[in-house]
Amino acid sequence: MSNAVKLSDVIPIVTSKTKSVTLSFVRVNKHPQKKQDKYTYEVYSANISGKQSFQNELVDSVGQYLISIDQNKKEKVFDALTQKSDWYESVPVGFVSEYDDLVNAFGKNQITQLSDKIETSFYVLKISVQANTVYLIRRVNGLKKLNSSGILAAIDGNQLNQISDDVIGLDSVADLVMYSDKIFVLTHSALGALFNLRTAFADSAKKIIQPLKNSQKIQNYDLLEATVVQNLGLSKMVANMANKGRNFKNPLSNEPRVLSTIKDFSLGVNYDLVTHTLIFDNPDQAVAALRLISDYYYETTQNGDMGVVDE
């Protein structure tokens, strides 16, 4: 399958009468001391075999949620900088370097005591129909405070019975849907909670600005690349530019306009008229340089108002 798959392609699998369902809990291990490192995963499977009515109720409710999303929202490429309520987002699985690590972690650990896994980050419904597999991913509602210091009770007629076991919340929502070679992002923040987007955006930005190196229009290109890759905000900015159709394939081709833009917007960057190259010698110039290179500055035709795209 290709990246042309749509959320509507997932729904027949989730609602199929012949599907097989497994439930797993995922613990995401992050490495705050090494922010560029990939996340690692512990995946624990829960035994829900023989609980057909439970499976059906849980999966069917998520299926209805997906139908509602598909009917009422439009799909767009994941935007690191903005989120719109009337859209859901998507990325190719290759965007995140941990995708294979996560998928390969399923089926390796069986839960023996569910209460030990309440602190996991996500639960996952893995749904298979023949060769097609869908992962419905949802953040865990572990009811941590109630489990540790409160009281949980079940209503039985006019009786209130205390629940002594730890409980966990499973609902009808999916935050992420992984199918084929695409990840559908239904809750914007969930993608960054499951995968290290610092690494993803750094790798993506490096590829996007690669034409600058080949153009030889940037002095100290290696410094510019290092500045972008090491700064999450800049990496996201580059990705956002690419999503909006801006590119770096023919940079600074209109030298008179380049010079006037530097002057009119007081960019504080230097241009070498002898070598016809932009001089990048200070990481603080990165935002101005990237906007200049990708033609992100504008002047209105009637009033002469000047600004920056997206601002």
Tens-place pLDDT, residues 152-176 = 666 777 777 776 666 677 889 999 9
pLDDT value of position 69: 97
pLDDT value of position 1: 41
d(CA 67, CA 62): 9
Give the residue ranges of the chain where pLDDT is below 50. Answer: 1-2
pLDDT value of position 233: 93
d(CA 125, CA 56): 12
pLDDT value of position 247: 84
Closest CA to 241 of 2, 84, 249: 249
pLDDT value of position 2: 47
pLDDT value of position 150: 62
d(CA 245, CA 141): 39
Tell me which H or E stretch contains 238. Answer: helix 232-243
Q: Report yes or no: 184 and 7 within 8 Å, Cβ to Cβ.
A: yes
Q: Report yes or no: 86 and 27 within 8 Å, Cβ to Cβ.
A: no
Q: Report yes or no: 30 and 39 within 8 Å, Cβ to Cβ.
A: yes
pLDDT value of position 107: 78
Closest CA to 141 of 169, 173, 109: 169
pLDDT value of position 265: 92
d(CA 8, CA 184): 11
Strands of 63-121, DSSP E: 74-77, 87-92, 109-110
pLDDT value of position 142: 56
Q: Per-residue pLDDT tens for 48-106? A: 877 888 888 989 999 999 999 999 999 999 988 877 889 999 999 999 999 999 999 99
Q: What is the DSSP letter of 261?
A: H
pLDDT value of position 207: 94
- Give, in degrees to the nearest 5, the angle at Cα 258 between 256 and 259: 65
d(CA 63, CA 98): 26
User: Going by C-beta distance under 8 Å and a sequence separation of 6 or more, which residues neighbour residue 199?
Assistant: 36, 37, 38, 97
3-state secondary structure of 29: strand
DSSP characters over 155-189: EETTEEEEE-S---B--S--SEEEETTEEEESSHH
pLDDT value of position 162: 72
Q: How long, in residues, is the chain?
A: 311
The H helix count followed by the E strand count for the chain is: 11, 16
Q: What is the DSSP letter of 39?
A: P
